[in-house]
Every structure is written in structure tokens, then in C-alpha cells.
Amino acid sequence: MQLDIWGGAGEHGRSCYLLHNDRIGVLLDCGVKKTGAGQYPLVDPNVIPRLNAVFLSHAHEDHSMALPLLYKHGYRGVVWTTRATAQQLDTYFASWKKYVRGQSAELPYSDEHVEAIRFAYLEEAGATGEWIDAAPHVKVCWGRSGHLVGSVWLMLELEGKRVFFSGDYSSESVLLAADGPEALPPGTAGRPADLAVIDAAYGMDAEAQPVLLERLAARIGQALAQGGSVLLPVPAFGRGQDMLVWARERFPGVPLVAERELLQAFGPMLDRPEWLNPGAAERIRRCLEDPRVVAVATDAQREQALAAGRSALYFTADGMMQSERAQWYYRRLAAAGNGCVILTGHLAPGSFGQRLLDGPEAGGGCSVEGIRYKVHQGLTDVRRMLRAFGSRQSVPVHTGRSATDALCAALAAEGFAGLHSLGPGEALRF
């Protein structure tokens, strides 16, 4: 069996991994990189029509937005994912199209290829702990990955070979549950996989979520004590909902102004409590019922919230600040002279958020800082996953090549074997 890197290893974005031998081919994710007009996976049009199965770990654009290319190039099968993930994709396709056209570019596929995507739902074919026959010679089982509602890790069995794919994984979400090896089918736990493709987006970073949350709370508290407001740019789905609930509980009495789409995303979470940690549903309800939490959806409502003149936390649904709306918030807070922007996730090179972090705009009265909210894995987490799931060979992914090299070297020094630092266009036989 061979792993071909079509994207996602040695880089952040365009997750796409081909598993194949002379008889079968399976694809894990098919995403884009939000750089320029978008970078797409190194797909081989000759291979795509012969794929036996395609799996999607979750809906984020760097894992999903190149799926239509498969149908453009002749794939006629289904995409195995969860129903929650499939239902989130329309929002991401609309957002990706808007972004690409904003770069004065066109998508490499058409609407008909988006509409051609057909889904099969993992949780309806089998519960966690059960093998699912996904295609001839392809079995799969799944567990919750704690990254989004509907996000999963996968264990595949391909002609006697076992492959573990973590997807984007976090065991430290405020709201979302993550499964460990106890979710594997009976007799599977404790048996090492032949290959593991593991989220290592934070490279050598070993800090735990509680440490980062204390740092975040201290910086927010400082800004509020000085009479300022804080802008927290977050994605529409994922850490934004975690951070809203956390901020409401951590800063009693402080107004929270959030784009309506961020609050609306709580609806699917409450509709699917099986993806949540114990007690999370009640914490979400208390957040939604709190009069301090104000939803805004129009320019007039945003102006009204800012005109109130009170120190507040503002949540805008754009983690990299590429949208006009996020940039408008920044400029309004900068004009007020005592604002603070805290960027908590990945920033693509050249994105507005990254440019601000490198050096705020001249004349701006708004400080800009980066304090991570963990939704991926670093050194400590990767070490824990390797011990828990086990694999003969492992490929850390989702971060730059130098960071991957350093991570592999550190783990090898601890006695872990079979680690590989790979990049797009490279392959590994196993």
C-alpha cells in the first residue's frame, strides 16, 4: 500500500491524502489552501475515476473545498462523512466562491460539480465501535474528533492494512466531545495501525488549553480595565462557539456582541447533543438566554452596539480578518483609540490578520496580539495520540516542513519510531 501526499503534509491547508495499491484507491479529504486565489491539491485526473471511496473528516475549507474537482474529473462515487458535516458545506462553498471572486479569480470547477457531490453518512451506517463496509475491500470505523460538530477521526482497513487518520483533532474543546481508542471496534484497540496520519498543526508547541485560556483572560481583562473593547475574529463554526461560552462565563457583566451567524451555529449543536461534552448543552442555552449576549446582523445594529460606548467583547465571523466586516470593526476600534484585537487561530500569509500582527496599520489606536485557542494538536497531544492509538509508521501533518522536521526529531529522541516528515508530491510505501 502507498500513501501519496496530494496536500496537507509539510504545509497548513489543502488536506488531501491518497491511499492506494494496484487494486484499490481511497482518498482522505480534499481541501484548499487560502493563499492568493487558492491553492488546490495535486490531484491526478487519471486516478480519480478509479477511486473506490472518498472520506471527509469535517467541513472546514482546507479539508473540503476541492471535493468538486473529483466530480469534475470523473469520480462517480459517494463521499463518506457525517450528516452534520454535509449540512455545513453549503455555507463553506458560498464563502469560498465569494473569497475567490474577491481575488479577481474563478473557481476551477462549476456549480454543477458542487451539486454532483453525493454523500453517505457514517453515523447512519454504523455507530462508533462498529466496522462499516464503505466499498469493496474498504472498511471504516469512526470517532468524534472534538474539532467541529460532525468532525471525525477514521480507522480504515484496506486489504489487511490498517490506517488511522486523525482529521483535525482536539481533546480540549470547551463544548465538543472527542473520542479516544475506546471508540474502536472490539479487538482493535491495542493493535498498532500500519500507518497513522496525525494532526500536528501546532508542531513543537506543548502548551495546554488551560494555560492559553489564562493568558487570553489576562489580556482581555487588561483591555477591559483600561476602558477598551476587544475584537475576537473567529471562524463561523468551531472555536467561535467555544470562545463565546467561555467568555460569557469568565467575564460576568461584560457585554458580548456577536455576529448572528455565530449564535445561529449553536442551533445545530443543540440539535445534535451527541457531539457535545456532558453539560455543554446547558452552558449553550445559558449563553443564548443571557441578555448580555447581543446578536448583530446589520450595519445599523453594529453601529448601535459600538455607539453604546461600553467596554465589550466583539466576535466577528472571520478568523483571518479577510472580510470587509472584520476590517470595519478593526478600524472603528482603532479610531476609538483603546481597542485590542486578539487573533486566536491560523493566519494565512498575506491575510489581513497576519499583516496586522506583523505591524498594525499606521495611525491605528488598536493593539493586535496572537494568543492561540487550541483546536489542533501540538507536541504533547501528538505524543499522547501515538501512545493511545499506536502505529508502525506515522506522518504528522497540517504544519510547515521545518516544524514537522523538528517534531519528528523530538519524538524520535524520545524513542518513537517510524516517523516521517513529508510534503506535497511525496509518497510513503507501507
Residue 202 — pLDDT band, cuts 50, 70, 90? very high
- Flag whether pLDDT at 369 surpasses 90: yes
Q: Are 85 and 150 in contact (CB under 8 A)?
A: yes
The domain boundary, picked from 370, 388, 410, lies at 370
The C-alpha atoms of residue 71 and residue 112 are separated, in whole angstroms, by: 9
Residues 399-419: what's their mean pLDDT? 97
| pLDDT above 80 for 365 | no
Is residue 248 domain-shared with residue 128, that is, in the same domain?
Answer: no
| pLDDT surpasses 60 at 111 | yes
* Same domain, yes or no: 199 and 310: no
Instruction: Based on the fold, state whether residues 249 and 164 are members of the same structural domain.
Output: no
The overall average pLDDT reported for the chain is 95
Residue 321 CA to residue 365 CA, distance in Å, equals: 17
| More confident: 306 or 64 | 64
Which structural domain, as residue segments, surrounds residue 144?
Answer: 2-205+376-429
The yes-or-no verdict on residue 295 having pLDDT over 80 is yes
Read off the amino acid at residue 55.
Answer: F
**Residue 350, domain CATH:** 3.40.50.10890
**Using one digit for the tens of pLDDT, what is the confidence trace for 75-110?**
999 999 999 999 999 999 999 999 999 999 999 999
Same domain, 77 and 123: yes
Tell me: do 172 and 244 sit in the same domain. no
On whether both 156 and 31 belong to a single domain, the answer is yes
Do 392 and 261 fall within a single domain?
A: no
Domain boundary among 330, 351, 370: 370
CATH at 72 = 3.60.15.10
Reported pTM: 0.93
Q: Are residues 96 and 56 in the same domain?
A: yes
pLDDT in tens, 117-163: 999 999 999 999 999 999 999 999 999 999 999 999 999 999 999 99
* In a shared domain, residues 70 and 190: yes
137: alpha, beta or left, given left = phi > 0 and alpha = psi -120 to 50? left
Q: How many domains does the chain have?
A: 2
For residues 213 and 197, membership in a common domain is answered with no
Query: Sorting pLDDT into bands at 50, 70 and 90, what band is 188?
Result: confident
Confidence (pLDDT) at 338: 80
- Shared domain for 84 and 128, answered yes or no, is yes
Last-in-domain residue among 351, 370, 389: 370
| Same-domain status, 197 and 276 | no
